[in-house]
Amino acid sequence: MPESRVPRRRRFVVCEPRHFAVQYAINPWMSTDRPVDVIRALDQWQALVDTYRAHGHTVDTVAPVPGLPDMVFAANCAVVVEGRVFGSLFHAPERRPESVPFEAWFKTEGFEVHHPESVCEGEGDLAPAGRWILAGTGFRTTRAAHREVQEFFGVPVISLTLVDPYFYHLDTALFVLEEGSDADGGNIAYYPGAFSPGSREVLERLYPDAVIATREDAMAFGLNSVSDGRHVFIAPEARGLADRLARRGYLPVPVDLSEFHKAGGGIKCCTQEIRETRS
C-alpha cells in the first residue's frame, strides 16, 4: 500500500434539488408512495457541495427547471473528456427534456457539445478511465451509443453488460478510483454481481487489483462514489467498502445523500465532472 495518495483537483457540475421529487417510477428504487423531504434533500445536497469545496474542488451549478425532478442527477447529462462534451438522450421520455438546459449551459461555457443519436445517459453509464472509457449497457445506454462515444472522443470504449435491475446504471455498480494513463491503468472499485459473466472477466483482466464491493456495499450506494485519487466521497452506510478503501490508502469521506436513494441516486449521480485534459 502506498504511504500516501495525492488528490487531483476536480471541476464538478451540479444542480440544486429545488424541484426534486419522485413523480414516476423508472427503476426499482423509485416509488411514488415514498414522499421526498425536499428540505432534507436540499441540506444533504448543500453538504455535498460544501464538502467538495472544502477539499479544494471547483463546483459549478446549473439552474434547476420546474417540472424536471431528476435534474439534480447531473451525472446523467453528459460525459466530458478533454473539454469536449458528449450529451445525453435519456431512455425514459420523462427525463429527455433535462438534456436541453445542461447542453445550453455547456455551450454558454464555451464547450463543443455533441447530442447523441442513440440512447445514452452520460456518466451514469460512461466512466472515463484514462486510456479507455468503461461503458455500461443492459438497461439504459445502448451499445450503439458506445460506438458513437468512441467515434466522438477517439478513445477506446470497453462495453460492460449490467444484469441486475437494482444496478441499472454503471455508476451504481462501479466507480473509478484513479484514472489511468498510457503507463498506468489506474484502478476501480466494483460489485461483480452487477455484471454479466463475460463483463466480470473483462474487469478482472483490466483491473486485477480492483477493490471488490459486496452486494451490501452496492445496495447502500457505496459504489455511487466520487474519488479525487485520495479522498473518496462515499455513502456512510457502505462501511465495509470504506474499510477496504482505507486499507488501500484512500481516505473515505462520508456524505449522507440518503434522501436521493429514494430515486435511485447518490453522490456520483449528483456530480458531473468536467475533464479539461485527459489524465
Over residues 164-186, mean pLDDT: 90
Over residues 50-64, mean pLDDT: 98
Query: In this predicted structure, what is the pLDDT of residue 185?
Result: 72
Query: In this predicted structure, what is the pLDDT of residue 182?
Result: 66
Query: In this predicted structure, what is the pLDDT of residue 183?
Result: 63
Query: In this predicted structure, what is the pLDDT of residue 193?
Result: 98
CB-based burial, 234-256: b 16+ in 10 Å, e otherwise: bbebbbebbebbeeeebbbbebb
Please write the tens of the pLDDT for every residue from 204-241: 999 999 999 999 999 999 999 999 999 999 999 999 99
pTM for this model (two decimals): 0.96
CB atoms within 10 A of CB 277: 7
Annotated active-site positions, please? 169, 269
Q: How far apart are CA 83 and CA 153, in angstroms?
A: 10
Contact of 169 with 134, CB cutoff 8 Å: no
Band of residue 53 on the pLDDT scale cut at 50, 70, 90: very high
Query: In this predicted structure, what is the pLDDT of residue 277?
Result: 65
Please write the tens of the pLDDT for every residue from 91-140: 999 999 999 999 999 999 999 999 999 999 999 999 999 999 999 999 99
With 50 as the cut, is the pLDDT of residue 1 above it?
Answer: no
